[in-house]
Structure 1
């Protein structure tokens, strides 16, 4: 791996992973320290993510309208709905990219996400995958995962740092999980679309996130890749909490126990896929007849 490629890789990773701020107010600094201590995420009340009466408007248009959402630890929740329903804006709010006008957003029972920026939220264990894969194409599969590993962030340190046995084991584990062990030395740019998606998911998993938000993960995949992605998500269920925004109803039916339907920025219906598919309101605004 050349120093130039390492530099580019670190610049991109630093957009979502950054060290704690050096100067903060006492309350905020204390709160930030708490969430970085192992085992401090409070899920004793049966929720890992909680939104209540969240509203946000853009130029007079209310994109999110009194949205309330409750996600349990280890749950695999699917979010569906028509274009413009607020699905992406909801994820923007959770990850700190967009600030709501009103409402509450909590990670666990005690961490107010509205008091933290994007980098802090990512460091707490919230990972987000966008629809288009953003892997480092000139680097190998292994090097992409290596870059995503937690540890020294300086370029020189990364260039000369030797992986520990534990880190090697973790990389091997993730490579097996995303079914790319045989492609480990292949440049990421030569992977298929589905393989690039799995690699990016692996780059999130290598950081051991508590919550993953995935935006249309099977868009553009072949039927075989879609099935393998479903198997991967079902394997992750329980070990991680997943929120999946998707339009492929076959894929949703394969993985979801509970489905939330958004429309005009709020929850229209919620339940099993069969329940929401039978809801006349959902048929009218999204599924069609």
Structure 2
């Protein structure tokens, strides 16, 4: 079943056309990669899906609801979660409290004031940290983590609210080869509960975890398909050779 459908997305910045009639779809429990050379429009398209940018024209439909003009907060309430490339963890707080705050963001102010949410959410916090191999560091400040571990923590925070769709913009940027390998291992199990859109420059990484890919060049979607289909596509080969 289709979870996200993006159709006819145009995005202009003054005289610059960043996206031109871009379209793709994501199914439930699917990992979908957005790839293309630098400047092809991948991150802009991701931002239009997330609500960080408003498309000049086109539609974004999520779980049957037209969310084209929804704010990022409204999209989050519909079940969408986003992690951009720059890490946004709170370095002075413990890993535990970072995840707890992510969970508490879903609660009303009244429930936070009059309930013992920390105790009620303890098991969910620890299970989330365990899922990303961070439980043994739960009470350390986030600043004590390596760059890769901070990225894992932020992905854990993005997943804490159990979204239907997770958006990741270059999550392995700055990671070592081993950290990238582990990141793939940590992401695979979430497919049972959550779809994923990922923008990534590491083509080996994205081929290993994605079911389907959408390829952009100069703001235009040139093709979508399975990984083998994309690998054999002559136009994709031409684009990457031209930019090499």
Q: Runs in 1 of length 4+ with deviation above 6 angstroms?
A: none
Unaligned runs of 5+ in 2: none
* Alignment TM-score, normalising by the size of structure 1: 0.78
Give the Å deviation of 1:57.
0.9
Maintained 8 Å contact 1:75/1:238: no
Tell me how far apart the structure 2 counterparts of residues 71 and 108 of structure 1 sit (CA, whole Å): 10
Matched residue count: 241
Distance (whole Å) between structure 1 residues aligned to residue 83 and residue 32 of structure 2: 15
Do structure 1's residue 107 and structure 2's residue 62 form an aligned pair? yes
The residue that corresponds to 2:29 in the other structure is 74
- How much has 1:140 moved relative to structure 2? 0.5
Describe the superposition over 1:147-166 as per-residue Cα deviations: whole angstroms up to 9, x where unpaired. Answer: 11132448x839x845244x
Which of residues 237, 250, 256 in structure 1 aligns to 2:210? Answer: 256
Give the root-mean-square deviation of aligned CA atoms. Answer: 2.0
Name stretches of at least 5 consecutive residues in structure 1 with no aligned partner.
Answer: 1-45
Ranked by relative contact order (alpha carbons within 8 Å, sequence separation 6 or more), the top structure is 2
Change (3 A) 1:258 1:97: same
Matched, 1:91 2:39: no
Give the CA deviation at 1:86.
1.1
What do the CA deviations read for 1:42-101 (whole angstroms, capped 9, x no partner)?
A: xxxx11110111111111111111111111011101111011111111111112222212
Tell which structure's C-alpha radius of gyration is larger: 1
Q: Provide the residue aligned with 2:225 in structure 1.
A: 271
Tell me the TM-score normalised to structure 2 length.
Answer: 0.92
Structure richer in strand, relative to its length: 2
**Residues in 2 aligned to 1:253 and 1:99: alpha-carbon distance in whole angstroms:** 29
Q: Is 2:7 the partner of 1:52?
A: yes
Instruction: Provide Cα deviations, 1:167-195, integer angstroms capped at 9, x if missing partner.
Output: 22211210111110111011101100110
